[in-house]
């Protein structure tokens, strides 16, 4: 019995020394000195010890118990001192001023222009940045072999998917997603990032943002498109904003136009191109199962950086993505 007590004490102390955390410590306590622990069963065994040995074994039991309990408290205190609470913090000391953060000027522009369109009755739609060719091309009347699909003008992903994937080059993808998931009439805008392998300069970046608009209803005309864009321009840039539509071409609209706005730049009134627009091509409506005999619509896609640069007088698109707090704090 005395031998058994000795080995109990030794293994308990060895295990205790190896304990490194609160959970392990509690496990150790339960195993050795808890109400159903090994020490308790050893004590229960005292009744079977021959009478003449009882005093010696009893004394030893008490010694082991006292030793294990004392070591346990010691270990507990040591773990607490090195634990996460660490050194005492003086909570009365004045804090460090971290400065107030603010939203990025682009996020602000996105919110502001989304708000303008929301007031005109557009709801907000979304789509993924990683797209399939159907949404970025086919459904938008850009068939296989079209030059817009050239690998040099797109970020295709390598991989073994059933369909080739790419980073979307235009938010027009969301037109398709909106028409696939909702029945006309529908009136949505979508904002988000688009990607093109362009060389960076003052007006080009390989990632930028667009706002896409889509209105599908009965008897929608070019007049509705022009009125919508004029209202947007006046609401966002001021009552003296003038707009014009210049004939252009996009595969997904017929007719198509470039949307220009007259703005004062360094004192001089100039026409500035903000994006493309047009009447949704019947092929696009057919691709999403909307009858072009019954429904018509317009669409537009504007560059958000361009809008922000005009609104806030920013001369270089690259400044928007350098994350220089001295620049960003101005807005
Ligand atoms: N997706 C075109 C681009 O990125 C812009 C555009 C043109 C969007 C005409 C439209 C549209 O919705 O109708 O160059």
How confident is the model at residue 85, as a pLDDT? 54
Separation CA 45–CA 47 (nearest Å): 5
- Ligand 1 atom closest to residue 276's alpha carbon, by position in its atom list: 7
Going from the C-alpha of 226 to that of each of 135, 221, 259, 294, the distances in angstroms are 26, 9, 9, 22
How confident is the model at residue 205, as a pLDDT? 97
User: Domain coordinates of the chain in residue numbers?
Assistant: 2-81, 105-328
* 89 contacts: CB under 8 Å, gap ≥ 6: none
How confident is the model at residue 154, as a pLDDT? 97
How confident is the model at residue 309, as a pLDDT? 92
Per-10-residue mean pLDDT, the chain, length 331: 87 89 89 90 88 89 91 88 70 86 95 98 98 97 96 91 91 98 97 97 95 98 97 94 95 98 80 95 98 98 95 93 94 93
Indicate if ligand 1 lies below 6 Å from the C-beta of 220: no
Indicate if ligand 1 lies below 6 Å from the C-beta of 276: yes
Measure 211 CA to ligand 1 centroid, in angstroms: 9
Of 271, 272, 245, which Cα lies nearest the Cα of 256? 245
pTM here is 0.72
Whose CA is closest to atom 4 on ligand 1?
A: 170
Q: Quickly tell me which residue has 């790419």 as its tokens.
A: 166
How confident is the model at residue 224, as a pLDDT? 98
How confident is the model at residue 87, as a pLDDT? 67
Separation CA 289–CA 265 (nearest Å): 45
Helix (H, G, I), strand (E, B) or coil at 138: helix
User: Class assignment of domain 105-328?
Assistant: alpha beta
How confident is the model at residue 84, as a pLDDT? 60
Measure 106 CA to ligand 1 centroid, in angstroms: 20
- Ligand 1 atom closest to residue 275's alpha carbon, by position in its atom list: 5
Measure 63 CA to ligand 1 centroid, in angstroms: 86
Indicate if ligand 1 lies below 6 Å from the C-beta of 300: yes
């Amino acid at each position: 019995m005395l031998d058994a007590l000795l080995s109990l004490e030794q293994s308990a102390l060895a295990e205790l020394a190896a304990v490194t955390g609160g959970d392990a410590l509690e496990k150790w306590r339960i195993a050795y000195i808890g109400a159903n622990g090994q020490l308790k069963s050893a004590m229960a065994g005292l009744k079977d010890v021959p009478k003449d040995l009882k005093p010696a074994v009893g004394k030893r039991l008490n010694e082991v118990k006292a030793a294990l309990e004392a070591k346990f408290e010691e270990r507990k205190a040591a773990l607490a001192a090195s634990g996460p609470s660490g050194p005492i913090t003086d909570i009365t000391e004045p804090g460090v001023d971290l400065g107030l953060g603010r939203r990025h000027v682009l996020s602000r522009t996105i919110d502001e222009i989304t708000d303008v369109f929301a007031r005109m009755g557009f709801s907000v739609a979304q789509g993924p940045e990683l797209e399939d060719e159907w949404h970025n091309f086919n459904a938008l009347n850009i068939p296989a072999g079209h030059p817009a699909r050239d690998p040099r003008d797109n970020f295709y992903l390598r991989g073994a998917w059933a369909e080739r994937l790419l980073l979307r080059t235009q938010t027009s993808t969301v037109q398709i997603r909106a028409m696939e998931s909702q029945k006309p009439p529908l009136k949505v805008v979508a904002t988000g990032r688009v990607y093109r392998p362009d060389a960076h300069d003052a007006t080009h970046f390989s990632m930028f943002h667009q706002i896409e608009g889509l209105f599908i209803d009965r008897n929608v005309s070019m007049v509705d498109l022009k009125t919508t864009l004029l209202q947007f321009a006046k609401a966002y840039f001021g009552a003296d904003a003038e707009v014009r539509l210049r004939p252009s071409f996009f595969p997904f609209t017929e007719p198509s136009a470039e949307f220009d706005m007259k703005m004062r730049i360094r004192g001089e009134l100039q026409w500035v191109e903000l994006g493309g627009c047009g009447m949704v091509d019947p092929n696009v409506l057919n691709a999403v199962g909307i009858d072009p005999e019954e429904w018509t619509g317009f669409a537009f896609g504007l560059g958000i950086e361009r809008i922000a640069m005009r609104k806030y007088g920013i001369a270089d698109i690259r400044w928007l993505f350098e994350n220089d707090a001295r620049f960003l704090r101005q807005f």
